[in-house]
Structure 1
Amino acid sequence: MKHVSILVPNGHYSLVNIEGTYQIFSWVNNFLQATNRQPLFNLHLVGASRSMTQTNGLFTINPNLLINEVSQTDLIIIPAIHGDVQHNLRMNAQLVPWIVNHYHRGAEVVSLCIGSFFLAATGLLNGRPCSTHWQFAQEFKRQFPEVILKDHKIVTEADGIYTSGGAYSFTNLLMYLIEKYGDRELAVMASKAFMIDIERSSQSPFTVFMGQKAHQDEVVLEAQEFIEQNFSDKITVEKLSQQVRVGRRTLERRFKRATSNTIAEYMQRVKMEAAKKELESGVKTVSEVMYDVGYVDVKAFRDVFKKVAGLSPVEYRNKYSSKILKMKKEKEKLAV
């Protein structure tokens, strides 16, 4: 059996990550025992003290092991910890060397959702791929430039370190681990028991581009506003630099530094976000949406849309348009 240490940190930890991991891995053990096989996981809730209460006071977890009582472990699970990273590090100062020490002694390490921020602060992610909640991707890039962020991914793995995308996508990482430590059949059974889409690999369809405006560069903010108000037009970098009264090279440099995107990338993301909203309404055809956001080449629009959203425009409309879904339901009723 693998010794699993599910960390219960100080601060506003994710109860869902902790309880969900314990519940799903416990189900695996019970299923294996019911079919006359050995359980896979030796589960422990591990903390710095015997009672760990969320900072909002709503929930308290009582770890069954303290970190200094764990002499050897095979798998460390880091849940999401909300709030300021530096504050969380100060509150959990004992956990950082504990995680690093056990990793170097052979333990594998998992971060769930924004637990990646805490894991990155240990230095173990430097030079390695990592995912996190898409909503915090830009902040993650700013704080940890040495980490290779793959924010479109639901699961990353490198050198015994695993990370998951945002929110409930952590369940996909759990299925991945069950298959890795058990087998495919076991993972499929677990996915069916908890109704988890085992094949989901990208969080791109769930991403909402909100613009990177948490900076103080007034010129870049003006450029962003101009792009967002005129996204259907053909905007060149030269025209944009004239609009904000700054030289082209200076604008490109400042724009990249402030938003982590090139101007071309930002224009593309704004256009695709507008296209997603149009497709969700289900009122217009894909071709009409394409023209509305300034594209004339069907293949180019489809390729860019799929790269950003993880689905083709037709697939995206069929999945998220309330109008299309309503039509499907009416057809199903008629068929019955």
Structure 2
Amino acid sequence: MAQKAEQVAEIGLLIYPGCQLAAIYGLTDLFRVAAEWTGDNARYIRVSHWEATADDVICIWDSHPGSPHRLSHAIAPPSIIMPERMAPAPAAAAWLRNQHDQGTVLCSVCAGAFVLAETGLIDGRRATTHWAFAEQLAKRFPSVRLAEEHMVLDEGDIVTAGGILAWADLGLTLVERLLGPATMLSTARFLLIDPPRGSQRPFAQFIPRFDHGDDAIRKAQHFIHAHAHEPVSMADLHDVAGMTERTLLRRFKAATHHRPNEYLQLVRIAKARELLERTLLPVDRIAWDVGYSDPAAFRKTFQKLVGIRPAEYRARFGTASVPHVEAG
């Protein structure tokens, strides 16, 4: 006689206006697949879908109906609407707060962090979101301690995930927590996806801000971009901007959110990433071409900003191929 499978948890997936339905159904399938890989000790995760209306949140689907709900986890998925156009979701936020009060672990993926932040429960706490949305989240919810370099950030009762497809990373993280590492790895292999990734930094792009309204600082930025492959000094920058070094430092940080030297390194490393992706130039040559006379200093800076070494980055993201030489 087959052993009856044991329910280990119930995960509620929150459907709010504009959310990414691919994440809802993808997580549903991932947890269903995980149950197939629990071995002789058969276990499963109950999954329910909860839809937020204007003034309420109701269950609209249940993988194992027939018994009262007791959510161990609730997940706010990504949004397919850009954060600046996401409407407030007070009913969803109230529902999440109520679930948290009852002991539910709250999770978010990508822009789902904006819904989670509406609850006030991550004020003063670390959270991650998509690297491109971090500035917007910080403006709207300044009490949240952003840690956008993380792909998945587990704070115990709050778990946040970064990229728009990081629902897979979050799903596998929860499978590991609830069903064990062996089941998580088997699920990842079956679905042909990587185990949970630790960092967004290899994927994040440097996007310089030029629309800040400070013309003098914009001139300094333009100078850095034009001369990043050369030695650039503070004297060069305050001459171009027409201000003292102290004033330059203050206004540059206010306009770009970076100190001038940090900005210079970001510009150089962005160019190095492009060369690693698109060419087969040796790493030492790339270091020299983007402005580093010391390849060791380049490697150290690259790993600090990107999270992996240049050779690893090329192996993961390089698109150039070795030219085929026909036999003569």
TM-score range, shorter chain: 0.7 to 0.9
Paired residue type of 2:77: P
Is the contact made by 1:89 and 1:118 (CA closer than 8 Å) also made in structure 2? no
Paired residue type of 2:163: G
**Residue 148 of structure 1: how far off its partner (Å):** 2.2
The match for 1:27 is: 33
1:63-108 deviations in Å (ceiling 9; x for gaps):
338xxxx874221100112446576343x22111221122122110
**Residue 177 of structure 1: how far off its partner (Å):** 1.0
The change in CA–CA distance for 1:105 and 1:86 in structure 2 (over 3 A counts) is farther
In structure 1, runs of 5+ residues without a counterpart are: 51-61, 332-336
Partner SS state of residue 154, structure 2:
strand
The change in CA–CA distance for 1:213 and 1:18 in structure 2 (over 3 A counts) is farther
**Residue 276 of structure 1: how far off its partner (Å):** 0.9
The change in CA–CA distance for 1:24 and 1:214 in structure 2 (over 3 A counts) is farther
Partner SS state of residue 249, structure 2:
helix
In structure 2, runs of 5+ residues without a counterpart are: 1-7, 63-67
> Percent of counterpart pairs with the same letter?
28
Partners of 2:188 and 2:149 lie apart in 1 by 22
Which residues in structure 2 correspond to 1:132-147 (within 5 Å)? 132-147=129-144
1:263-300 deviations in Å (ceiling 9; x for gaps):
22111111100111112222421111111121122221
Paired residue type of 2:313: Y
The match for 2:178 is: 181
Partner SS state of residue 115, structure 2:
helix
The TM-score normalised by the length of structure 2 is 0.86
**Residue 236 of structure 1: how far off its partner (Å):** 2.2
Which residues in structure 2 correspond to 1:4-19 (within 5 Å)? 4-10=11-17, 12-19=18-25
Partners of 1:72 and 1:314 lie apart in 2 by 47
1:230-285 deviations in Å (ceiling 9; x for gaps):
11122223321220112322222222222222222111111100111112222421
The TM-score normalised by the length of structure 1 is 0.84
How many corresponding residue pairs?
311
Partners of 2:10 and 2:311 lie apart in 1 by 45
Counterpart among 296, 299, 303 of residue 296 in structure 2: 299
The match for 1:243 is: 240
The match for 1:253 is: 250
Moved over 6 A (4+): none
RMSD: 2.7
The change in CA–CA distance for 1:254 and 1:284 in structure 2 (over 3 A counts) is same
1:36-86 deviations in Å (ceiling 9; x for gaps):
5132x2211001349xxxxxxxxxxx9338xxxx87422110011244657
Which residues in structure 2 correspond to 1:103-182 (within 5 Å)? 103-182=100-179
The match for 2:201 is: 204
The match for 2:94 is: 97
